[in-house]
Amino acid sequence: MKKQILTLGLVAVLSAAAAISGTLAYFTDKEVKTNKFTVGNVDIDLKEEHWDPDKATHVYPGQVLEKDPVVTNIGSNDCYVRVEVTNLKQFGTEGDIVYISTEKKDGKTVDVEGKLGANWVFDADASYKKEDSAYFYYTKPLKPNEKTTALFEKIKLPTGLTNRPTPSDAQPNNAESIVITAWAAQAEGIDWTWDATSQNISGLKAWFEACFKKN
């Protein structure tokens, strides 16, 4: 019986509220938030500060030339960098063009052939497969306005280099140019981190393939 009384009382209250609702104004409110955003971008700049093209004429066997590719992130988003270097093996059996970086040893700066700059890794699996192209990855994400270390600092001509025909107006070059191409892919979204122990870059390579496949 008590349950019935309570139920009826509740119905009575609700009915009363419904009865007077037609005579009241309601307090209401509406708020809209507009979230402004800007679209980021990935943009890079490739420079070789110490490369002197005048010194690359009439080269001789074993000559060392300064060549220091550096990539700068001039965009607004963090990015990873990949670089392709062509024609290091253009002289065939006469020998390869070797890249060089320096290091400190016994208080002196010495050249080390085959050494890359800090954070750079050579992609042996993809290099020299179909073309005379070597690929390198920078394993540290670049923040805006940040630069890579130099991929390398110098190159050395093969010591087995032999004579070539003298360049002429008809044939101004008697060797292939060394072409350096840099790519950048956004760092956001990648499921990979650099492990110096394993030095596995498969995740970074897959990220570049995915990013450039969509563009």
What would the pLDDT profile of 95-140 be if each residue is shown by its tens digit? 999 999 999 999 999 999 999 999 999 999 999 998 899 999 999 9
Residue 5, pLDDT above cutoff 90: no
- Give the C-alpha separation, 37 to 39, whole Å: 7
Domain layout of the chain by residue ranges: 44-163+173-188
Is residue 186 classed exposed, middle or buried when 0-12, 13-18 and 19+ CB atoms within 10 A define those classes? middle
Cβ 136 vs Cβ 121: under 8 Å: yes
Cβ 40 vs Cβ 77: under 8 Å: yes
Residue 24, pLDDT above cutoff 70: no
Banded pLDDT at 215 (limits 50, 70, 90): low
Please name the amino acid found at residue 72: T
Residue 10, pLDDT above cutoff 50: no
| pLDDT on residue 213 | 82
- Give the C-alpha separation, 96 to 161, whole Å: 9
User: Could you tell me which CATH number the domain at 44-163+173-188 has?
Assistant: 2.60.40
| pLDDT on residue 191 | 92
| pLDDT on residue 2 | 45
pLDDT tens readout for residues 155-206: 999 999 998 877 666 666 678 889 999 999 999 999 999 998 999 999 999 9
- Give the C-alpha separation, 187 to 193, whole Å: 11
Residue 9, pLDDT above cutoff 60: no
Average pLDDT, the chain: 84
